[in-house]
Structure 1
């Protein structure tokens, strides 16, 4: 939620509203700056997931098993989960651009060390540092996108920034895997460093700066939890992400077990395309239908899980399920970050940091729970588990209609209404 104090605090640092206005004074999104944020999201997501496509080569060079190499993904999530809350509190007074550049520099350092390291322990330390940088970035990026846009376009701004997630998962990981197979896995990580250096200059040149919180306004996490609406959003985040990760983390294994092991790349591409469509829909409708979109997303993923659970012997229906999964999931990061930011109000940064922490706890938990289910029951249990977990998600979203997941966002005017007034007026 953008408050009056936010507006006053940001006015001096915000870009000139006339510079983002079209003919007749109509305000527009700062596209070049938002694309920089989307690239930061892309780097954050790809840095986390890239080892999944490079495990055999990495394990050979590091002299450890593939399962041990797989823990490079887990330690990344742990680094984010352990440090997002304390670092967000410690850096709350920093100017936002300085903090974003610090996080980007952390990615450059971590990916470079990962690329040149031949020692497993050093690689794990570098991956932990990357997770720390991710904790800073995730707690910062959604709020940054909101503050760069006029109130009636905040939903679109966040959707544009979050578009880096499905692009990383559907295109970045396959591309990184191909590059690693062609030139070696170290080149794939060095390419990430090169992209990060370009992003650093891009942010310096194009992204506006905003002040942090005043010294006396540092976030208090327990107080944030008592704000109506924050707890339901955090619960939905934890359970929804857990459900998604159980299936996504083991999608290659699941597809192999149903006879589609050679189609993993195509399935991920279809999933990513549907996710991009979902992000576009959410960005266009989030101001009017936050609650409906969240319920709809959970229902679509639940239907996809049901199809996979009972009709996975049909290849065509598997792809239908993947499309529904992508349509339901793609906009979820934008929806949940918007919901927790609106509910948190003046404590939005604290709420975002909590969401980032729980998101990564859920990702780590999804990998652990999925592994246990795989060994104990088999991959056929994944869709049923996803379906079971989504039932309380839908119930909580429906229950939290007044605080957490209201039908309309508590901002005005709507996207198609009169343009927002000039904050400098």
Structure 2
């Protein structure tokens, strides 16, 4: 998820920095598409950098002379870097101008991906992946709030959906393409390609993305106070456990498929998953204003059904592709759903709540990589979908119970939140 709230620009701050009103007192109902697509590309790069090793585990493992479970920790160490630094870095840079901070974060990705591409030493690769995670700690604590800040209030949900489209695009096109490219050439080539894309993005951001000031010291939120706001804790719990469930399977999907005779089809399975994710984010973007709760329940059930299919029928190739499609439909809209839910619940503490969300998201990513590696060594890859099912049960219960706060049937209006 990778995923993306902003300590300084999250909901609650957008009323201070939204685009100016048009003549007659009405806000201009237009979105800055070039700037939002630049943010979506930044999300794409952060998500692809995090998840690309999932499709390249066998070749990376062989070249780095470590086991596949050890190579899977390249996803874990990235998430650890983000989880450890998201809150302190967001606090330390809260006064920075937003454009300067975004450019700094993306430059960090260019450096980290270049080192990953040239390294033949497992330890150095892990250091580079940690640095990439630190850069993500900056970017993911910035991007969703940045998108909201560029849009009029009535279009802020759509602005986030456009920016967050980088996640399913990374899954639908980036990971399969990177997996195919790495298989046909060398696993290092996709990382070099990402460096080149990041350099181009730095120019794009400089030219099209507006700048905003950071926050004054007195405006900065208090983290723990957000936990006392009704609805915030349920959303954070769902974030932690849902992302954990997803990562346990996704981080080792190449190994799971290889164990079921589909190792040569990993890129195609990921393409189906990602295409369904794109459809999901479109559906969520168009329906989230009225149906956030229903969409969250549906997403949970879709991923659970996909896991059940993989648990009992993974030896049937056609059903694996069906499961991948259901998984993508359930997962694609989750970043937008959870970011919106925590912003609605947080109210005037939304800044702090969203920063906690990005931290827990990456704690879950790190834990998923670790737990998945242990399960792979102890129980084999067949244990992954059963683990997903087990974890999604409390997620569904919490979403259903949190009907007054957290995942209400009716979202608050901007004046209420």
State TM-score, norm by structure 2: 0.89
1:3-14 mapped onto 2 (5 Å cutoff): 3=12, 6-7=14-15, 9-10=16-17, 14=19
Alpha-carbon offset, residue 375 of structure 1? 3.2
User: Counterpart in 1 of 2:148?
Assistant: 146
TM-superposition CA deviations, 1:244-298 (whole Å, max 9, x none): 1122222223223334333222111111111100000000011111111111110
The one of 33, 39, 42 equivalent to 1:40 is: 42
Name which of 49, 52, 55 aligns with 1:50.
52
Cα distance in 1 for residues equivalent to 2:125 and 2:255: 26
Task: Measure how far apart 1:18 and its partner are.
Answer: 5.2
* Other-structure match for 1:123: 125
Partners of 1:185 and 1:177 lie apart in 2 by: 8
Change (3 A) 1:344 1:263: same
Shift of 1:186: 3.8
After superposition, the Cα gap between the structure-2 partners of 1:306 and 1:115, relative to the gap in structure 1 and judged at 3 Å, is closer
Q: Is the 8 A contact 1:114 1:127 kept in 2?
A: yes
Matched, 1:230 2:232: yes
CA distance in 2, matches of 1:387, 1:95: 43
Instruction: Please tell me whether Structure 1 or Structure 2 has the larger radius of gyration of its CA atoms.
Output: 1
What is the rounded CA distance, in whole Å, between the counterparts of 1:373 and 1:55 in structure 2? Answer: 16
Q: Give the Cα separation in 2 of the matches to 1:155 and 1:242.
A: 25
State which drifts further: 207-216 or 235-244: 207-216
CA spacing shift, 1:65–1:327, aligned 2, 3 Å: closer
Match of 1:173? 175
SS, match of residue 46 in structure 2: helix
**For 1:72-111, what aligned pairs fall within 5 Å after superposition?**
72-111=74-113
The answer to whether residue 267 in structure 2 is matched with residue 260 in structure 1 is no
| Cα distance in 1 for residues equivalent to 2:310 and 2:193 | 36
Contact 2:103 2:202 in 1 (8 A): yes
Taking a change above 3 Å as real, the CA distance of residues 374 and 51 of structure 1, as seen in their structure-2 partners, is closer
Higher mean C-alpha displacement, 71-80 vs 276-285: 71-80
**2:359 is matched with which residue?**
357
Residue of structure 1 in register with 2:6 after alignment: none
Using the TM superposition, give the Cα deviation of residue 195 of structure 1 relative to its aligned residue in structure 2, in angstroms.
0.9
Q: Deviations over 1:285-317 (max 9, x none)?
A: 111111111111101111222233333343333
Query: In the alignment, which of 378, 381, 397 is matched to residue 379 of structure 1?
Result: 381
Aligned pairs for 1:10-409 within 5 A: 10=17, 14=19, 16=20, 27-55=29-57, 58=60, 62=64, 67-409=69-411
Q: Secondary structure at the match of 1:139?
A: coil
Is the alpha carbon distance of 1:287 and 1:148 closer, same or farther for their aligned partners in structure 2, counting shifts above 3 Å? Answer: same
Which consecutive unaligned segments of at least 5 residues does structure 2 have? 1-9
Q: CA deviation at 1:207?
A: 1.2
| Mapped partners of 1:122, 1:254: distance in 2 | 27
Q: Distance in 1 between matches of 2:40 and 2:307?
A: 29
Change (3 A) 1:301 1:125: same
Q: Aligned-pair distance for 1:53?
A: 3.8
Cα displacement (A) at 1:2:
4.5
Q: SS state of the match for residue 153, structure 1?
A: helix
Q: With structure 1 as the length reference, what TM-score do the two structures score?
A: 0.87
Query: 1 CA distance for matches of 2:186 and 2:262?
Result: 27
Q: 1:123 to 1:257 in 2, by over 3 A?
A: closer
Task: Note the alpha carbon deviations across 1:36-95, whole angstroms, 9 max, x for none.
Answer: 011000100111122344455555665655554443222111101111111112122222
Aligned mates of 2:402, 2:341 — CA distance in 1: 11
CA–CA distance in structure 2, aligned partners of residues 182 and 121 of structure 1: 26
TM-aligned CA deviation for residue 363 of structure 1: 1.4
Shift of 1:128: 1.1
| Change in CA separation of 1:200 and 1:345 when aligned onto 2, cut-off 3 Å | farther
Shift of 1:26: 6.0
Superposed displacement of residue 335, structure 1: 0.5
Residues 393-423 of structure 1: per-residue CA shift (max 9 Å, x gap): 111111212221122332359xxxxxxxxxx
Distance 1:167 1:6 in 2: 26
